[in-house]
Chains A and B, each alone.
Chain A
Amino acid sequence: MYRLRRPWTAPSTAAAALVRPVWRGLPWRVWGVAQGAGTLAAGLIRVCGGGPLPALVLLRAAVLAGALGLAFLLDDPARHTTATVPVRRVVRTALRVALVAPVVAVWWTAVLLLVPGSVRPPVWDITLEAGTASVLALAAATVAVRRTDEPEPGRSVATALLAGAVLAPLLLPARWALFVAPGDPGWAAAHERWAWVLAGAAALWAVSLREPRRRRTVRAPLRSAFRSVFRSPCGTSGLSRTC
């Protein structure tokens, strides 16, 4: 009979052991499609030519495609099995991010290199936009995982991200504009705002990483009162979230 030598394993050891299975479980197919589309957008700049503005628009489309792919990062069909393991969610999520970060970095470098230097927007500024979009996607996915019981929230996260990307340029007032054209006098100020959004998204992400200790919607005494009044149909083999 197999016996554990120690009652628990150090988190770092567990994380190291998890690298391979997590790597295998990442939604690679979705990323393949998303990054392929992003690369295609960047390739269009090279093939079709055009000025700095079309190049920037296509690069932003590539950024959005990449971010849409990242929205699926935390999709885990086995979530209900892995939810109760002792390796904490923050470790599992961080591992996913750590594994995917080099891949995304290589992809982004390739996308930037595809854009001819003459029309390429300032590299660090556009990378800031890309980083913000990625962290926003991650933060949204983390919030979705925290707030819902859905094993694969990526689809909803991608929809929300997309809605944000469509509405932000339409609804943001000029003084908060984020999507400015190259050569616009507001470029530097806009990228300062991008940095603030990045900081906000990162903070949201960090806060959402922790597993909730209690259900958010109803406070405990109220909840028990509710329970006694409305018996919820829960407790068998299902994925019921109400119990």
Chain B
Amino acid sequence: MTVTVSASGLTLRYGATRALDDVSLRLTPGVTGLLGPNGAGKTTLLRVLATAVPADSGAFTVLGRDPGTARGRQEVRRALGYLPQTPGFHPDFTPFEFVDYVAILKELTDRAGRHREVRRVLAEVGLGEVRGKRIRKLSGGMRQRVALAAALVGDPGFLVLDEPTVGLDPEQRLRFRELIAEAGEGRTVLLSTHQTEDVAMLCHRVLVMADGRIRFDGTPAELAARAAGRVWSSTARDAGAKAGWRTGTGAFRNVGDPPEGADLLEPTLEDGYLLALDDEHAEVTA
């Protein structure tokens, strides 16, 4: 498959903390999930790939352009859609004005064409009806959709989404999944999230980050498969489990190294994720 984003040896330090520690990755068209606990370096990686901050060392290319040069960075930015974590808004703007503003910043200068494009993305995220209302009057979910529309405007080839589903209710999350899945058709989407279900539903690939390093790089099925034979049920909390909790049935679900003869369960992506985080050594399978 065509590699659209490729990075090698990305390192970024904040004082003594290594936010990124020799990160290398390759992204292909479709949605790639980025999982990891808080402070794992997900947002930093996204900001580096979105050209918001330069890395201390390492290099990457986006859609064949090298953001290491001024011209290359400019070209990458022209092909980029970015939805930052907790995006800001201009509350006095309407969704149309705000997305139009971002479209201008993305150098869409033909007025009629730009307005068509803004209307298209607003309709795509389901805000066609309220596009003339001030953003201060919109609900949190609608505002998040405005931010997604701002990321989508200009038909970017590379879409960087930093926890776009935080704070959304289940219905809105489903709607967002649809939108992101649609966005992933033909585009490269890098989606940072805490929701393993989002990754399971949306992503053809998943990266797991912890302590500034990539701990896992593979398909969601592969991540889940890592937990095969390592999830079991028991009647009491199992001392050998790395994680365990009582489920609604009253039985305990344990993840870790099972005892002999344990009642093994079907693993989920989340189990694989927990184990990937817990593994001492990074493992990139893809």
Contacts and interface: CB of A to CB of B under 8 A. Distances in A.
B130 interface: yes
A238 B143 contact: yes
A9 interface: no
Interface in A182-231: none
B137 A236 contact: no
B116 interface: no
A234 B139 contact: yes
A236 B141 contact: yes
A235 B143 CA distance: 12
B139 A236 contact: yes
B140 A236 contact: yes
A235 B139 contact: yes
Contacts of A232: 137
A83 to B, nearest CB: 16
B225 interface: no
Interface stretch (B165-173, B204-212, B241-249): B165-173
Contact of A240 (B130, B139, B167, B169): B139
B172 A236 contact: yes
Nearest to A233: B139
B104 to A, nearest CB: 24
A20 B140 CA distance: 32
B136 interface: yes
Nearest to A148: B136
Contacts of B142: 233, 238
A237 interface: yes
A241 interface: yes
A239 B135 CA distance: 10
A234 B138 CA distance: 7
Contact of A233 (B138, B167, B168, B169): B138
Interface residues of A, number: 12
B140 A238 contact: yes
B168 A242 contact: no
A176 to B, nearest CB: 34
A234 B141 CA distance: 9
A159 to B, nearest CB: 13
Nearest to A243: B139
Contacts of A149: 136
Among A233, A238, A240, which residue has the most Cβ atoms of chain B within 10 A? A238
A149 B169 CA distance: 23
Contacts of B141: 236-238
Contact of B137 (A235, A237, A242): A242
A71 B139 CA distance: 29
Contacts of A236: 139-141, 167-169, 172
Among B138, B139, B140, which residue has the most Cβ atoms of chain A within 10 A? B139
Contacts of B136: 149, 239, 241
A236 B172 CA distance: 10
A56 B169 CA distance: 60
Contacts of B138: 233, 238, 240
A85 to B, nearest CB: 21
A186 B130 CA distance: 57
A234 B139 CA distance: 5
A149 B139 CA distance: 14
Interface string B131-156: 00000111111110000000000000
A242 B138 CA distance: 9
A233 B141 CA distance: 10
Contacts of B143: 238
Nearest to A234: B139
Interface of A: 149, 232-242
Given A232-B137, A237-B140, A240-B139, 5 more contacts: A233-B137, A233-B139, A236-B141, A236-B169, A241-B136
14 contacts: A149-B136, A233-B138, A233-B139, A233-B142, A235-B139, A236-B141, A236-B167, A237-B141, A237-B167, A238-B138, A238-B143, A239-B140, A240-B138, A242-B137
Smallest CB-CB A-B distances: 4 pairs: A238-B140, A237-B140, A237-B167, A236-B140
